[in-house]
Amino acid sequence: MEFISGIKEKETVSIYDIILGGDAVGNRETGIAMESETVRLNGAIHTIRDMSEFAFIVLRKQEGVVQCVFTEGSVSFDLKSLKEGATVEVQGVVAKEDRAPNGFEIRLTDIKVLSMPSYDTMLPIPISKWKLKTSLETKLSLRPISLRNIRERAIFKIQEGIVRGFRDFMFEQKFTEVRTPKIVAGNAEGGANVFKLEYFGKKAFLAQSPQFYKQTMVGVYDRVFEVAPVFRAEKHNTTRHLNEYTSMDFEMGYIDGFEDIMEMEQSMLDHTFKFLEKEYSKELQILGVKLPDVSKIPTVRFDEAKQLVSEKYDRKIKNPYDLEPEEEILIGKYFSEECGSDFVFVTHYPSKKRPFYAMDDPTDSKFTLSFDLLFKGMEITTGGQRIHNYDEQVAKMVERGMDPEDFTDYLMIHKYGMPPHGGLGIGLERLTMRLLDEQNVRETTLFPRDVSRLEP
C-alpha cells in the first residue's frame, strides 16, 4: 500500500534561500549566503535581453525577479527557442552582483524548459516594463497577463496584507470569524440596487451586506467578523463604485456607545498599517507607498462638518441632510489641513439617510448614532450602533412603511434578546485604492465587475 506523508523536498531553491542560506539559519549582514554555490531554481521568463556576447534572462518568481546570465558555450541551449512566458528550471552559479535585483545573479550552466507559451510574435502588453504605460481599459481586458507585471501584482499583495492585518487584529480582540450566506431572501440595505436571482422557483437576491447575519451572530459569539464579497446592482459607472466588492465587516456586542466601534476601527487600522510595514515592506517600496499615521483620528459631527467646509471653502450648503462626494473631498481636505490627518470620522448622520436598523440619537432623533470614516476625502466605512430593542425596531420599521412580518427571522434576535451592539463595513478595494493613491477603484480590484465589465 502506498501512502502520502509529508511534502517532499525539492532540489530547487527560492530567492530567500539564496540570500539567507538554505534553511534560513541566519542573514549574513552583507553578501549572499549561497554565493559561489551551484543552485537550481524555477520561474517564468520575465524578459530576455540579448547583449550579443551574452544575454540576460530575467526569471519571475513569486518573491521577486532573478537575473540570470546566459553565455554562449556555457549552456548547451538555443536561446532563440526561448520566449517570454515560458517556464523553466535553470541551473547556475550564484554570483554577487550589486546592480542585479536582490544583489545577485545566476551564471547559467543549464536550462530545462518546463512549459512553452504558444503566441507567435510578442505579448499583447510589455509586462516586464517597470510601469505598464497602458490604459486602464487595456490593462483590465488583459488582466490575466497584466497582473504578471511586478508593480501590478504588488498591489494585490498589499491587499492581502490589509486583510491579514484586519483578521489578526480581530482574533486578538476575541472576535469570531463567520461565513454567512450570499444568496438571501431579503435585503438589509434596501433600495433598488440589488441583484435578483431565480432560486428553484423562488425569488432570491445576492446579499448587499451581511448585516442581518452578523447582528444575529453577535447574539451567539458577542463579537464577530467576516471578510466576503457583497453585491450591489449600482447602475452608475463611477471611479469608486463596483458591483461586486469585498466587505470587511465586524459587529460587536456590549458596547457603551458607537464610540467603541470607532475606537476598534482606529486601533485596527493602526495595527494593520504596522503589520504592512513589517510584512509587506518590499511591496510598499515597489509602489512607493507612504503609510499614513493613524495613531489618532479626528471626529466631527455630520452637521458640523458641513458647516466647517461651507465656511472655509466658501461653499453653499444645498441639502443639510446629505453629503455630496464634493463635500466629502472638502471635509477630507479640511482635516488634512487643520490637523494633518488623512482620516476623519464623520458622526451622527441624519436618520433618513441611514437604514432602518440604525439607532437614533436619543437627544435628537433626526440624527443617528452612526458614522462614516473618510480616507483622503472618500468614504471607506459606514458603521454605527444598531437598535437592539424589539419594540423600538418594529416601530421604526412601521414608521418607514415596512412590514415587520417580512422580517420575522431577523426580528427573532431582538425578540429573544440582544446586547447593545454595533459594527461597521469597510470596502477593501476602496481602502487599498486610497492607500495607494490610485484614482480608480478598478486599479485595486483583481477582476472588477461593473455595468459594462463581466470578464475576465
Burial letters 97-119, b for 16+ CB under 10 A, else e: beebebebbbbbeebeeeeeeee
To the question of whether residue 240 is assigned a binding role by annotation, the answer is: yes
Q: Where would I find the H helices in 313-407?
A: 325-339, 390-399
Q: Is 348 annotated as a binding residue?
A: no
Identity of the residue, 54 or 77, whose beta carbon is nearer to a copy of itself in the bound complex = 77
Strands 223-231 and 176-177: parallel
Nearest CB to a copy of itself, comparing residues 73 and 446: 446
d(CA 351, CA 369) in angstroms, rounded, equals: 9
Q: Of the two residues 259 and 322, which places its CB atom closer to a copy of itself in the complex?
A: 259
Would you say 71 or 81 has its CB closer to a copy of itself?
81
- The answer to whether the annotation marks 201 as part of a ligand binding site is no
Q: Which residue has the cell 492581502?
A: 160
Q: Give whichever of 56 and 447 is closer to a copy of itself, judged by the CB atom.
A: 447
Cβ(14)–Cβ(63) below 8 Å: yes
Cis upstream peptide for 456 (omega within 30°): yes
Q: Nearer Cβ to a copy of itself, position 74 or 193?
A: 193
CA–CA dist 69, 293 (Å, integer): 43
Confirm whether residue 434 is marked as ligand binding. Answer: no
What's the closest the beta carbon of residue 71 comes to a copy of itself, in angstroms?
24
Please tell me whether 138 is known to bind a ligand.
no
| Shortest distance (Å) from residue 28 CB to a copy of itself | 22
Residue 429 is labelled as binding a ligand: yes
> Who's near 392: CB < 8 A, 6+ residues apart?
none
192 is in an annotated binding site: no
Rounded Cα gap, residues 383 and 374, in angstroms: 12
Least distance (Å) between residue 408 CB and a copy of itself: 9
Q: Smallest gap, in angstroms, from Cβ of residue 98 to a copy of itself?
A: 26
Taking the complex as a whole, the smallest distance from the CB of residue 119 to a copy of itself amounts, in Å, to 5
Nearer to a copy of itself among residue 96 and residue 129 (C-beta): 129
Q: How far is the CB of 30 from a copy of itself (least distance, A)?
A: 25
Cβ proximity to a copy of itself, 98 vs 405, nearer residue: 405
- Residue of 430, 395, 383 lying closest to 215 (CA atoms): 383
Determine if residue 399 is labeled as part of a ligand binding site. no
Closest separation in Å from C-beta 434 to a copy of itself? 18
- Residues 138 and 133: their CA atoms lie apart, in Å, by 10
Residue 40 assigned to a binding site? no
Name the residue nearer to a copy of itself (CB basis): 77 or 390.
390
On whether 86 is known to bind a ligand per the annotation, the reply is no
**Cβ atoms 106, 14 nearer than 8 A:** no
Helix (H, G, I), strand (E, B) or coil at 71: strand
- Residue 251 annotated in ligand binding: no
Residue 313 is classified by DSSP as: T
Q: Least distance from C-beta 10 to a copy of itself, angstroms?
A: 8
**Helical spans, DSSP H, in 367-441:** 390-399, 408-415, 428-435
Q: Name the nearest CA neighbour of 167 among 227, 122, 100.
A: 227
Minimum gap (Å) between residue 322 Cβ and a copy of itself: 23
| CA end-to-end distance (rounded Å), the chain | 44
Question: Between the CA of residue 358 and those of 160, 291, 308, 352, what are the distances in Å?
Answer: 31, 32, 25, 10
* Residues sharing a CB contact under 8 Å with residue 9, sequence separation 6 or more, in sequence order: none
Annotated binding-site ranges? 189, 232-234, 240-242, 379, 382, 386, 427-430
Annotated binding-site ranges for L-aspartate? 189, 232, 382, 386
Annotated binding-site ranges for ATP? 232-234, 240-242, 379, 427-430
